[in-house]
Structure 1
Amino acid sequence: MSFYRSFLKNQRTTPAALVTAALSGTLGVFAFRRFLTGEAHAEAPRGFCPLQGQEQKQMSGFGRMGWGLTTLKLASVQTVSHNAKRLRFELPENSSLASLPLTYDKGHYIELLVKKYPNGRASSHLHSLRPGDTLSVVGPIRGYSWKPNECPQVNLIAGGAGITPMFQLIQGILNNDEETTKVKLIYGANTEEDLLLKDELAAFEHKFPDRFQAVYAVSNPSAGSLVKQGRITKELLKAELIQGGKIFVCGPPAMEQSLIGNKGLLWGKTGVLQELGFSRRQIYKF
């Protein structure tokens, strides 16, 4: 899981977005990736339930290639967990996220869910920001967008802060009255405190019991917890994944490599998902 780049375009209507800032690098200027944007090393999804490319408009002042800096002003800060904060930034006038048609909250802003890492300069800097402070970001970058009802069902596998792109996908699918897609989330973390957005996910389960289910796996659950103990294993995935659907993956590099494998001569090493019968064309890594 790498940088998440925010995408801005010349429109006045603005969907809110929630992205993760699990970052490292130069303080003050960060690149955030849009939720369904393929990384340079990620395979473009084809075959099963493909994601469609979407032309991005660029924000005035950005370069011809779509790159440039814009400044966002911090409007509010909310503590989410012992090491995560939710930062709401105001978008510049006449701009909006060139994001998926997934978020239905209205407001001229972008939200960052920032997990603070030990010795992480970027995440520490973001956690130190107060309302009124500003942040420079890079974008926009061409990406993929979800097509409503492209799949009858999707599987989401998230680890730690990797829940954030999954949350936008969940929110967009379930809040779209035209959608019938069923969603299953398998979410792993070290402790229950590290399960971000759990209240929001529970609300979706309550509202859409026939279309959304979340399964949690925690390495160190609290005493008396009803959450499954352990990691996201092959056995857990075999029991929980919906066969035939598309799979989205986002989490720590070791988890992603275990699930997806790595590329090399003749495709390199296969991952757990291939061993369970899923093709690479079914799998999309954020």
Structure 2
Amino acid sequence: MAQVRRLPQSLATNTTLFSVLAVFGIGAYCARSHLLPRVHAESNEPPAMFSGFGFTTLRLQSVKVVNHNTKRLVFEFPDPNARGGLSLTSALLTFSRPKGRWLPVLRPYTPISDLNQQGSLELMVKHYPNGKASTHIHSLVPGDTLTFLTPLKGYSWVPNQHPQIYAIAGGAGITPIYQLIRGILDNPNDKTKINLVFGVNSEQDLLLREELEEYKRRFPGRFDYVYTVSQLEGETGGLKKGYVTEELLKTVATDRGDAKVFVCGPPAMETSLIGNRGTKGILDRLGFEKEQVYKF
């Protein structure tokens, strides 16, 4: 979902750093509030909401329940002409203080809306039972606000850099993968071919399914996908039963020469694909070089 991208270990474990970031954020916000109006006045370009480090608080416009643990949330910009200003494969670092906590909680989420969209952005957020940030975000109702601290850049995608990419997503990890797919296919100058393998626990967990199927309809020669569901009663509706395995990827990743592989999913899935502490993963055994693989 809007998968929480994992923070670097230093940010994930050092709560003191959270407070330091907050202090710097306040200073950056004050500077930004003085500079942005002038920049906007001197340019015909719509203002960018996330142009650097600094607090940006947005009002929640609408909420849509997707399944038992996932919601889609639309946040509106104060200026309806503004755009996010994010580059492809970027996430946003959210800053929240759940009820009863003194220290803030920082978590990155990937927008699923068009990055050039004006007036709003959309997140898809999975609720984890013990997730401090996701529990807080799921408690929000229209009219409430959420604070964003800074954009986090991911892979620097260059159109047509690779003739073929393989995208492997597990569960909530579909969010950055979807942003990349959308950015490539919506760019008329980018001719990259994409094959997606999406593994989930149940059919209800196939997030963004309608959007992905629409892209397949629009780009039949360039985009295809395989859904594999671990808890599935038989193979129905084109769904495969099982996990993202080496046998499955052998049938999908057939062009390994100049291809690029993007991976995002639960830690166990990523370890099986990429390996860990000197052990080879599935992708290595399939013949992909280390530099061909990018993990969100």
Q: Distance in 2 between matches of 1:138 and 1:106?
A: 20
User: Judging changes above 3 Å, is the alpha-carbon distance between structure 1 residues 60 and 280 closer, same or farther for their aligned structure 2 residues?
Assistant: farther
Q: Which residue of 2 aligns with 1:97?
A: 85
The alpha-carbon deviation at position 175 of structure 1 amounts to 1.3
Q: Which residue of 2 aligns with 1:139?
A: 150
Q: How does 1:2-151 map to 2 (within 5 A)?
A: 20-22=2-4, 40=8, 61=31, 66-93=52-79, 96-100=84-88, 103=114, 106-151=117-162
Q: Which secondary structure state, in structure 2, belongs to the residue aligned with residue 177 of structure 1?
A: coil
Q: Which has the higher contact order (CA 8 A, sep 6+)?
A: 1
Q: In structure 1, what residue type is equivalent to 2:290?
A: R
Q: In structure 1, what residue type is equivalent to 2:218?
A: K
| 1:154 aligned onto 2:165 | yes
The alpha-carbon deviation at position 60 of structure 1 amounts to 6.9
Q: Judging by fraction of residues, say which structure has more helix.
A: 2
Q: Distance in 2 between matches of 1:155 and 1:106?
A: 26
User: Judging changes above 3 Å, is the alpha-carbon distance between structure 1 residues 140 and 168 closer, same or farther for their aligned structure 2 residues?
Assistant: closer
The alpha-carbon deviation at position 142 of structure 1 amounts to 4.8
| TM-score (norm. length: structure 2) | 0.71
Which residue of 256, 278, 285 maps to 1:243?
256
Q: Which secondary structure state, in structure 2, belongs to the residue aligned with residue 119 of structure 1?
A: coil
Preserved CA contact (<8 Å) 1:100 1:146: yes
Preserved CA contact (<8 Å) 1:104 1:175: no
Q: Distance in 1 between matches of 2:173 and 2:3?
A: 10
| 1:282 aligned onto 2:296 | no
Q: Which residue of 2 aligns with 1:258?
A: 272
Preserved CA contact (<8 Å) 2:167 2:261: yes
Q: Distance in 1 between matches of 2:154 and 2:168?
A: 20
Unaligned runs of 5+ in 2: 10-27, 33-51, 90-112
User: Judging changes above 3 Å, is the alpha-carbon distance between structure 1 residues 95 and 173 closer, same or farther for their aligned structure 2 residues?
Assistant: closer
The alpha-carbon deviation at position 153 of structure 1 amounts to 0.8
Q: Which residue of 2 aligns with 1:16?
A: none
The alpha-carbon deviation at position 144 of structure 1 amounts to 3.6
Greater Rg over alpha carbons, structure: 2
| 1:232 aligned onto 2:244 | yes
Q: In structure 1, what residue type is equivalent to 2:131?
A: G
Number of residue-to-residue matches in the alignment: 233
- The 4+ residue runs of structure 1 with deviation greater than 6 A are none
| TM-score (norm. length: structure 1) | 0.74
Q: Which residue of 2 aligns with 1:44?
A: none
Percent of matched pairs sharing the same residue: 51
The alpha-carbon deviation at position 104 of structure 1 amounts to 6.4
Q: CA RMSD in A?
A: 2.7
